[in-house]
Structure 1
Amino acid sequence: MAPAPLRWVPLLLIWWGLAAPLNAQFGQPSEYRTPSCDQYKLPGCPRDFSPVCGSDMVTYPNECTLCMKIREDGRDIKVTQSGPC
């Protein structure tokens, strides 16, 4: 018979196999998209109103303002949807 700690390995592997899909399901959804911040090089943003919802649950007036927030805070904010949150 295997030592006690080794007996748990198969159970842990089974648990991990079941838990990994749940993590993907309840983590950040894959349909969130990365904003295209490379196109916004100006010190300011255009005033066009095309709201986007960030993964921080803040509605930004447009994608450029979301990119400015990312640059200021250094956080990884994704676009969850076009339009307000």
Structure 2
Amino acid sequence: MKATCVFLLLSLALCCYQGIAEANGAAGRGTEPACDKFNLSQGCTKIFEPVCGTDDILYSNECLLCLRNLQRSTNVRIKNRGMCQKPSPRSG
């Protein structure tokens, strides 16, 4: 019985550790946005074509993700097109 409890606790700890590691390493994965097709100096359209960034923030469209990367000198990539799995409090 003790061995089973120890095994379950270790399994739970390993699952939690992997979840934290995935969240911290997410910025390196995803698809590179095609920022060169946008004229960022003129701004972005208001067309709603949502993309979820690797920072788990929902951007209204790919152009806004590119603009945010330019403004903040970051390299957020596209995690998926459409809504994020977990809703974020901020949006681009």
Whether the TM-score (by the shorter chain) exceeds 0.5 is yes
TM-score bin (small chain): 0.5 to 0.7
Q: Give the match for residue 82 of structure 1.
A: 81
CA distance in 1, matches of 2:68, 2:26: 19
Q: How does 1:33-72 map to 2 (within 5 A)?
A: 33-42=31-40, 43-72=42-71
CA distance in 2, matches of 1:74, 1:31: 17
Q: How far does the alpha carbon of each residue in 1:49-75 deviate from its partner, in whole angstroms, 9 at most, with x for none?
A: 100000111100000000000000000
Structure with higher helix content: 2
Asked if structure 1 preserves the Cα contact closer than 8 Å seen for 2:26 and 2:55, the reply is no
Larger radius of gyration: 1
AA of the residue aligned to 1:52:
V
Relative distance call for 1:69 and 1:30 in structure 2 (3 A) is closer
Identity %: 34
* C-alpha deviation, 1:84, in angstroms: 1.3
SS for the counterpart of 2:70 is helix
* C-alpha deviation, 1:28, in angstroms: 3.8
Root-mean-square deviation (Å): 2.2
Give TM-score, length-normalised by structure 1: 0.63
Aligned length, in residue pairs: 62
Kindly report structure 1 stretches of 4+ aligned residues shifted beyond 4 Å.
none
CA distance in 2, matches of 1:80, 1:48: 19
